[in-house]
Amino acid sequence: MKTSIICNLAFLGMMVFGCTNAEDPTTSSAPLAAPAPSGCATIATSECSNSTGCMPVIGMRVDLEQMCVVPKEAVACVESTPCPGSVRFAVSPSGELWQFPLGCTPPGWSIGEPMKSIEQQCPDRPEDSECSQLWQQACQGNGKCIAIEGQRVDTTRHCVDEKTFVACEDAVKCAGRVAYAQSPSGELWRFHNGCSPKDWAIAPSQEPMELCPPAPPPADRCIQLDETKCQESKECMAVYGYRINESLQCMEDTEYVTCMLEGACPPRDAYARSPSGELWGFQLGCFPPGWQHETGKYFEDACQ
């Protein structure tokens, strides 16, 4: 069961992922789909306003530690379209929270729930350069900056994710060879040209790695979970059953059998035979994939 959460600014980091605005109960909580990509996406943000049929998406990055926003900047160039006119929030592919005063958000960003606008401007930070405040397109269009792109390393599967924008920094000459660095959150990343964010820790070189395969479908993800993780999952359900002692014609104790994708189960007992030939009963009517459904069976006595 999903529970509605009433949020305040103290929990801003959580609000974009499922909270509602307590001051505006009439606001819909349904996510707003991001605009579809267009040819405008290839135009530099600095030239977007001068391009027919295109417009820049203006946003302000949110500093969650200080509860403030940095100065406005053009984050993307999109096809001209009316904006909602009200503040909306979105999360960038790298996980940063942004506020968009006019309500238009960049394609591919995760749209947040409605919430109060953040008016507090962040104080100047001398240690931050102009480049560090820029998003990908603005960074790539600025000759004084370099857009740093990397691939997150999946250390469990020993593979790397698709390349993504990580940071914008002052233009420097990169080493021109693969380098690894660890993010402040402890994740390992690979950088093809040797340039990594200046505040990341340099990591030892790794063996060559291939791209990670696509994530398995939900059903496959569920069946890999143990009982505790299955119960914690919002998309999966734990399946419990009881083994049938066919010699004594009785039911043994209920136990955890598998984890399946959440779905409607028949409100009646079901019996199925496992691949090893054992007969099991399931009170909710759902049984593991690959098991053979058995009909004409009924047991009501527990084994002693």
Dihedral (C-alpha) 119, 27, 16, 148: value to the nearest 10 degrees?
-70
Of 164, 169, 182, whose CA–CA distance to 92 is shortest? 164
The predicted model scores a pTM of 0.36
pLDDT confidence band for 153 (50 / 70 / 90): very high
Distance separating alpha carbons of residues 17 and 246, to the nearest angstrom: 50
Find the range with the poorest average confidence among 1-10, 105-114, 197-206, 212-221.
1-10
Distance separating alpha carbons of residues 185 and 170, to the nearest angstrom: 23
pLDDT confidence band for 273 (50 / 70 / 90): very high
pLDDT confidence band for 25 (50 / 70 / 90): very low
> What is the torsional sign of CA 186, 192, 194, 198?
negative
Strand, coil or helix: what is 137? helix
Report phi then psi at 63, rounded to 5: -90, 105
The single-letter code of the amino acid at 244 is I
Helix, strand, coil distribution of the chain in percent, nearest 5: 10, 35, 55
Of 243, 240, 241, 250, whose CA–CA distance to 279 is shortest? 243
Mean model confidence pLDDT for the chain: 78
Joined together, the tokens standing for residue 147 give 């857009």
pLDDT confidence band for 189 (50 / 70 / 90): very high
Residue with tokens 């004084």: 144
Which pLDDT belongs to residue 256? 93
147 neighbors 166 (Cβ within 8 angstroms): no
Which pLDDT belongs to residue 283? 80
With b for 16 or more beta-carbon neighbours within 10 A and e for fewer, the 178-213 pattern comes to ebbbbbeeeebbbbebebbbeebeebeeeeeeeebe
